[in-house]
């Protein structure tokens, strides 16, 4: 657990190819966010949908950044 904590709470400088993955995730999520905004009426649920989408991108990016072994990168 100590190794995981140390890894999760340090800065992860982007490795080769990671920045492009971050950009693609953000871009695709932004498209979905625009669709949610267009189709859903203003509401708490809409706000939560957007927030959860933001969280989803954050966690997806963290999974890329925090990968300990290069073999974990897909």
Q: Which residues contact 18 (CB under 8 A, 6 or more apart)?
A: 64, 65, 73
> What token pair was written down for 57?
């991108």
Of 44, 31, 45, 42, the C-alpha closest to 57 is 31
Write down the pLDDT at residue 73: 47
Domains of the chain, residue spans = 16-67
Query: What is the model's pTM?
Result: 0.81
pLDDT category at 69 given cuts 50, 70, 90 is low
- For the chain, what is the mean pLDDT? 92
- Cα-based angle 15, 19, 21 (whole degrees, multiple of 5): 110
The pLDDT tens digits of the residues spanning 13-45 come to 999 999 999 999 999 999 999 999 999 999 999
Write down the pLDDT at residue 47: 98
């Amino acid at each position: 657990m100590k190794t995981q904590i140390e890894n999760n709470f340090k800065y992860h400088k982007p490795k080769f190819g990671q920045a492009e993955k971050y950009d693609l995730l953000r871009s695709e999520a932004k498209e979905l966010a625009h669709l949610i905004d267009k189709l859903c009426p203003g509401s708490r649920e809409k706000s939560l949908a957007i927030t959860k989408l933001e969280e989803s991108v954050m966690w997806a990016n963290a999974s890329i950044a925090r990968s300990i072994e290069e073999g974990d990168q897909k």
